[in-house]
Structure 1
Amino acid sequence: MTDHGVHEATPTNPEALKGQGPARRGRGRTRDSATTAAILDAAMDLLVEEDLRKFTIERLASRAGVSKATIYRWWPSRGAVALDAFLNAVDPHVPFPETTDFLTALRFQASALVRVFRETPAGHVVRALLAEAQSDPDLADAFRTRWVEARRDSGRAVFRRAQESGQIRSDLDLETAIDLVYGPIYYRLLATHQPLTDKFVDDVTAYALRGLAP
């Protein structure tokens, strides 16, 4: 849902998620951007096609047309390259918009996140990453730092501006407030008991705002 002239550009097909993010620096050597893009696109393809437990560096190297040594030069594990593939694909599509209206910003970003999870391979991939992270402490830490905390940092800034402008209560615990909005999205994503719909996002943000408002 979009308000006040804010336009959404969230992709609605798997191909739209390819090659969107910037190449990241590797472990000691500058990455070739074309090779990095090929590896990350191939990784997303494999993650969509099969369970992360079947995702191997050997299969990735074959699909991307590179050597295993090239992949290991830039990523320490299959979980690390899988996470980079996910972030590279999804990060550009879930920003907060440039608007001072709190509800507009919240609906826009939450709607973008839900559509990416619902209409692209990202929903499948994030479920696989979270499952793998239960037995891979390094992946769990990287996922929290690079995905969860990065998103929450952006959210905190939006919530603080809303507090300063009087749109939400000044005495709120921001961590709980953010969980109130985004917790239901991840619950539906993981439990799959109900669909992630646009109406669901509208309802969650509207209900949350009632509790957050001054």
Structure 2
Amino acid sequence: MTLSPAAPLTAGTLVLSLFCLPASAGSQRLGVPLVQQQHSEWCWSADASALLAFRDVSYAQCRIANWVDSVDYACGPYPFYWNDRANEPNYLAGTTGISGILWSLGRRDSRYYSGPLSFAATRAAIGSGAPITVLWSWRSGGGHFIVVEGYGDDGTMLYFMNPWPGEGAGYGNYRWVRYGTGDMGTHVWSESLIVY
């Protein structure tokens, strides 16, 4: 049997096209921009900056930190120590938490929940165009904020933006996003903020 020179190209094109299929109608991603946090405790500032940018409002992480921490040097050309006032952790709720930042700097409304959202509630929020900021509480103490910005069509997978350097776009099973172990440690989804 003799193959024409076009045969391998046709087979390769078929394989390539299978991997490049568009997302199915049962999945949705909002397109929250990927933002890497610029300092060790700035996951909250990176998430706020990404969510504001998603709504066409531009605020650098350092300007957000200046506003929250009532300082004027977070945008300076020099580094500051990990325990500096401008590098403090933050919260989801409150006037200077992520909800307050989004309202004060971008006039974005949000709704706080003191626990995880179900997959159905997560899907409904994303379906209405509202990303969700999630607090992952670490078993060892402390926490980290991510933004859930999409869901897969299989009923179990979530897309999220993780601002920690080297993490970026993530895709994980809902159960793992809710409670799981990874390179950053063991986390529990402990709080939620739906951003409208």
TM over 0.5: no
Of the two, which has the highest radius of gyration? 2
Q: TM-score by structure 1 length? A: 0.26
Q: Which has the higher helix share?
A: 1
